[in-house]
Amino acid sequence: MGARPADYVVLLAPPAVVAAACEVVLLSGEPEMFLPLIIVLQPLTVLGIVVGLVQLTRSTRGPSTFRLMLFRGEPAFAALPAFRRQCVFNGLLSAALLLMALNGLRVTGRIVPTMAWAILVLNGCTVLLLLFRMIRSGPLLLTPHGLAIDGGRTFVPWEALGPGPESSLWMIVRPELVEGRPIKRFQPGQDVPLDVSLWFLFRAIHSYVEQPSQRAAIGLPEELERLRGTLARQAT
């Protein structure tokens, strides 16, 4: 399970709308219409970028965002990928850069058009990289046998985890047990954003590191409710 379909719309719709509007102006044979187009669209995209940036700085939600899913035929707790805030910011930023670059291509000379082409190339590469990451992303799952990262590309057995240097922290103490894609540091959410607060996620994993007897109940609705209640009380 990768990014949600609406995430792709949020990312690609703003630059597509800007590109279509600029194409209409160019085909109409009235290049002076670029000025009202910029006056209307640029403030809107800048405002949207600010809103998206504010959203990125907000903490994600608590343990209620955990979901029940099947992994290798067994029930598990899943923290799903969450790209919406990144898509809002990057989609509107891409639209603003596209509008600026297309307008720059109309300037005579070499410097400004060259910079405009550089902006278009960098902007396109950034969007493609984000799309690639969204397509390949997967949930982080807590299973009775360990942690499946990014949908299972990396699997960390519980036996590979141990208490960390401080309370509520943990670390990989037996890296040779890790299956699949190797990882240097285990920081869930660092490469793929998750629809759950990392504080809650780390606390959830820590609780099963400390209490192995509770791992067998992972995947049961009753255990999920207990975990949610425990973490919510700790947060307050």
Has residue 105 got a pLDDT over 90?
no
Has residue 117 got a pLDDT over 90?
yes
Give residue 131's identity as a one-letter amino acid code. L
pLDDT band, very low/low/confident/very high, at 136 (cuts 50, 70, 90): confident
What pLDDT does 149 receive? 86
Q: Residue 92: what are its φ and ψ, rounded to 5°?
A: -75, -35
For the chain, give the longest Cα–Cα distance: 73
Higher pLDDT, 131 or 29: 131
pTM (2 d.p.): 0.73
Highest mean pLDDT among 6-20, 33-47, 167-181 belongs to: 6-20
For the segment 20-30, the average pLDDT, to the nearest whole number, is 78
What pLDDT does 235 receive? 47
User: What is the tens place of the pLDDT at every residue in 157-215?
Assistant: 998 888 776 655 677 888 888 888 877 666 655 556 777 777 778 888 888 888 888 89
On whether the CB atoms of residues 233 and 83 are closer than 8 A, the answer is no
Has residue 236 got a pLDDT over 50?
no
**Range scoring the smallest mean pLDDT among 9-18, 30-39, 216-225:** 30-39
Q: How many CB atoms lie within 10 A of CB 214?
A: 14
On whether the CB atoms of residues 80 and 1 are closer than 8 A, the answer is yes
d(CA 207, CA 163): 10
